[in-house]
Structure 1
Amino acid sequence: MMAEFFERNLVVIYFFYGLAFFSMGLAIWLASARFRTSEFRLAGALLFLAGFGIVHGLQEWFEMFLLLDERGGTNIPGWLLLPEMRLLHMVTSFLLLVFFGIRLLYANRWTGNNGNRFALTGAGAFLGLWVVSVAATWLAYRPERLAMIDAADVLARYSLGITGAFIAAYAIRLEQNSFRQRGMARFGRALLGAAITLLLYGLTQIITRPSFIFPSTVLNSELFLNTFGFPVQLLRTLLAVLMAAFIIRALNVFEIENQQRLTNAVEQRAAAQREALHVQQQARVETERLNRQLQAAVLDLSLLFNVSRRMAATLDRAALLQDAAPLVVAMLPQVNAGMLVLRRAPDAPLEIVSVVECNDPAAPVAERKAQGLQLAEYTAATGRPSWMIAHDVLPLDEATPETDDAVGAGFHPAPTDESTAGGHTMAMPLTARGRVIGSLVFCTLYDATSFTRRDVALARAVADQLSVAIDNATLYDEVQQSGKLRGELLHRVVSAQEAERQRIARELHDGTGQTLTALGLGLAAAADRLDSDPAAVRRQLTDMKQMNAQVLQEVHNVIADLRPSILDNLGLIPALRGHVSTFESRTGIQTQLIVQGKASRLKPEVETTIFRIVQESLTNVVRHAAARSVLVQVVFGADGVQISVHDDGRGFDVARALAGEDGRAAWGLLGIQERAALVGGTAELLSAPDQGTTVRLSIPQPFKEADNG
């Protein structure tokens, strides 16, 4: 009775059977807009599952319309109800299921963009297997048309339906783990239910319509109906309904995911807005701080400009030094007193050259002055800025005041921090030409705010400006003094030339002139006596020959004193050898000439300069050195020539000698420097008491063009 009931109502079963799959596919397709941007791997394959549901639902409705057509309840064209159309729908739906399963399985196992290609290859392989099996069956049995279609239906369920359901169920089971890992276990359970029902649905594909293909000859729908009393389509309908319910429930995960992403986006936007607000607040605070720094920097630059302008207004070194401390006190508002301490010479003690007393009610003037002098001595000795905290002298890079705003490890350009730094007296080094020449001391009252970073940096800048101004004034004095000495030297040279001319005139008049006069008189007397006394004339001519030789020697000596001929004929080295030999024989001082490098002829003016400098140096050895030996060295190099004259005599203080502090001007030493400068060279004098003296001469590119080329 029950079997007959289901047989009569099989149309209704097929309707709900198809409706379940069609609804599942339609629900997935309608939800596709929600999961297109999903991060779940399932989203990339769901549209193929939707295709399976829609096509498979249409295939079951096709079965329903076949039954209705048999009962005369439809007007559908006959070609649409052909068995081949039913078979085409079923194979297509199973292929979509296979494609879905392989696509999802690939996404769970591997990464990359080749999932669709891999799934298409797999589905094509299964389709080829089915086609081959159908062709083999037809070739083996040569059945009639309807029997062949039934056999193809059975083979499609065996090769496509069962395998597709198994692959898809396994892939869904793997994706369920992804849901659980993301904290969506309830939707993962829905996926697990869908995987189980799909697996069971695949197993029901073993129950096929009767055909001549084993095992459908035994295990078929008729056997199922006779055994259980209801058609297998009812079981499949129930599984389809459950599968659709599970899938539709699992689809809600994409709505939850979108809500979470929306929530995260809102939170991120709120966080970004908070961060932007925080950045704006920081920017406003930073802008205000920079504005304050800029204002302070402008003020500092204005002060420095005024100080620099005042210091550069004079090149009078004495006036600059005298006005330094009053200028600093007048220009810097934080400074109440100051002191300039300098060394006159590198080894000389410090001297106070300018001071503004500190009239501090909290301490005696003498105490503040002593503190300033102590700081000045420390800074001049170490070359490091310093200040005094609690009567202790501390370097500015090691002082550790209590506040964080104190000066730390170094100086910063124009800092604007106004917090208390901890010191009321500080000293800055004054440097010139790479050495410390003194200190500049700054003082403020004890009851006033102590110096800050800004004050320290400003004081350092003022000290640097004063160092430059002092150096410039010193250079100006040296240039002025050099010009004065050069003028005096020129006067001495002119005087020496006149004296030399007078000496030559005297020698020619007193020696050569007298001898020539005697020769003239002797020749006249010999002419008168030539006929009367030839023997006396012969004796007289012999005497006059000796007088002539004496005249020639005297003229030769005068010429040699003016310029040795060997210098023009043979060059510098032979001339030096001759002069050194003459010097040694005349003075008894052991003298040696050493030549290094390849000797070459030099420009005439260079050879003359070198010869005269060596001549002057040896003359100074005889006059002042009390030396036992002298070494003259000439070194020829690729770029120039170097000459040195060293003696082992008593030596002297070069600075004092050049400055004329011993009461006499060092015209010889100054002349050496002037001669070297005239040919583009430099002369250096090295000496110390009891250490001997060395004159070093260096002349670049002195060679004749023929030798240099």
Structure 2
Amino acid sequence: MAVKTSEKALDHVIEEMIDVVENSKDEIFYISEGARKEHEQLVAELKVTKEKVLRHIENGDQLEQKVYFSRQRLAEVSKYFDRYTEDQIRDVYEKTHKMQTKLAMLRQEEQILREKRDDLERRLINLSKTIERAESLASKVSVILTYLQDDFKQVNEMIENAKEKQAFGLEIIEAQEEERRKISREIHDGPAQMLANILLRSELIERSYRKGDAEEALAEIKSIRKMIRSSLYEVRRIIYDLRPMALDDLGLVPTIKKYIANTADYNNLKIDFVVIGEETRLNQKYEIAFFRLVQESVQNAIKHAEAGLIQVKLEIRRNSLTMLIKDNGKGFDPKIKNEKSFGLIGMKERVEMLDGSLSIDSVIGKGTTIKIQVPYKPV
């Protein structure tokens, strides 16, 4: 009786935790979206401001030249004033005075625009950092929410007494830490490197501006905008594709089909998917693992192999599951170990957890083939 009471209390605590985490995730998302919209507005405003600065510089230089000649004229009139009428002398003086006044105002406006430009650039840097922190925090919250929804709800079904609950809780914490490490690897390989590249590009813009090459600076801004969109896509993919709902509702095969269709459409490339055997629901841990394996393999083929064609084949047998992922990308040498190849390390770890095997056949310039074989245990 005491155990049932504690189980109900635990369920209540978990539900409250899920509500708090979901609300926190929504708030983070709104903060991130607001910062992103402000970032886009500031980028547009910065572009306009830089154009105005350039125009003021050009107009000021032209007016300064006119003032120079007018002052020479004024000096000549002052030196030989007996040769000119009073009206002529007054006219030269007034014109020179007006141009000098206009030049002073123009230079003052130029200085104000320069200060505004510098302020916008500083605000953009701070906003980029805010977006990065918000997305990083949202990814962590999503991981916590995933485990709260998918694992903690099954705690009472998987344990029989308090000791088992304690042991299971430790296992969940270990799995949670492993998932965090995986997400940190994805962020390190994707958005973090993109943002570092954006920072370097912003320095190139400053150099181009100081050299007076406005066209090059504008080209760099367009390139930065494209990289920002790519990094935002990567961050959103990490946050919101941690676990697609279709995997729980429809199963492995329909979810892979949908994922492949969306990925092929977004990246404008061809991805073939073939299923051999009965398209039936599998044990949850196998569905999750194989979906993650497809995700990682396809993303590696797109990002690193730069493939134009990817072929995925899934064979479902009564006692085994086999998956083949083949691409026509640039390939690599499997004998050369890359310390930053976190994706392949994660795939091997997933397959080993299912007592399976993973083999990679790749030749530079001839593509890559990944074969995964796992013994299937329905229960």
Fold in common (TM above 0.5): no
TM-score, length of structure 2 as denominator length: 0.38
Q: Give the helix-richer structure, 1 or 2.
A: 2
Structure number with greater CO (CA < 8 Å, separation at least 6) is 2
Say which one has the larger Rg: 1
